[in-house]
Amino acid sequence: MEQKISEIKEIFQAADIEKLPELIENYSQDKRSGVAALVKGAEKKLALLEKEKERTRQMKKYEEEYDEYAYICGIDEVGRGPLAGPVVAGAVILPKDCDILYLNDSKQLSEKKREELYDIIMEKAVATGLGYVSPERIDEINILQATYEAMRQAISKLAVVPDLLLNDAVTIPKISIRQVPIIKGDAKSVSIAAASIIAKVTRDRLMVKYDEVYPGYGFAANKGYGAKAHLDALKQYGPTPIHRKSFIKNIILDETGE
């Protein structure tokens, strides 16, 4: 008795991607248009997977170039531009045989994908570290120096000492470990991309919590960036303790006319 297309569809939908080649082979001779569409969809999914594997291989270029170093650490920061909240830095040492796919600049990923990758990174990484610098400290030493401080904190939190740092664009002062700054490194190195993701997820979660403490500013949605709703609330209610005074000075002055 011929299988119903609905039954075959359920089989394809339930199958792990590793099972798809076998299903394609089993059903490729079925000429019904519904089955042919399922086979074609599975073939497309496999092709996209191969494309992603190749993209990931290319993103291991720097890790492979410096393969003589035992522990290569990616460094990135999130939150240099917001008006409120801390700047957060991530440090990640991935295993040499890292098989994590879809690592990329965190800004290029959906929130759902970042959350998924965060859990995978935290599970598979050799070591991870996070650094936070408060709004008060940002006002005190400026955002660039605060970024460096957060990065040094993140490195200090690693369970193992890295032999090499791959940084997103910057060279961190007061660090004796060899550094390789890479422009747009979060889109070119799996290690930096992983650091970008854990920093972004960590900071976003923190801003969601701040939204509960300081409602009305839309922190859960805007993460402290200068969205219109945030600016309107700032002018109506004034700054919160997590606002960066040096960042909002002109906004407050404009509103008071002073």
pLDDT tens, per residue, the chain with 258 residues? 688 889 989 999 988 888 899 999 999 999 889 999 999 999 999 999 999 999 999 999 999 999 999 999 999 999 999 999 999 999 999 999 999 999 999 999 999 999 999 999 999 999 999 999 999 999 999 999 999 999 999 999 999 999 999 999 999 999 999 999 999 999 999 999 999 999 999 999 999 999 999 999 999 999 999 999 999 999 999 999 999 999 998 776 554 444
Q: What is the pTM for the complete model shown?
A: 0.89
Sorted by sequence, the CB contacts under 8 Å of residue 99 that are 6+ apart come out as: none
Sorted by sequence, the CB contacts under 8 Å of residue 229 that are 6+ apart come out as: 217, 218, 221, 222
Residue with tokens 């990758």: 117
CA separation, residue 6 to residues 19, 120, 182 (Å): 18, 33, 50
Q: Clarify whether residues 94 and 194 are in a common domain.
A: yes
Q: Which long-range contacts (CB under 8 A, 24 or more apart) does 207-213 make?
A: 207/85, 210/84, 210/85, 210/242
Give me the number of domains the chain comprises: 2
Supply the DSSP symbol for 157.
Answer: T
Q: Clarify whether residues 13 and 105 are in a common domain.
A: no
Residue with tokens 């400026």: 142
Q: Clarify whether residues 24 and 107 are in a common domain.
A: no
**Which residues span the domain enclosing 93?**
61-208
In the structure encoding, which two tokens stand for residue 150, read together? 């957060």
In a domain, 169, yes or no: yes
Q: Clarify whether residues 79 and 198 are in a common domain.
A: yes
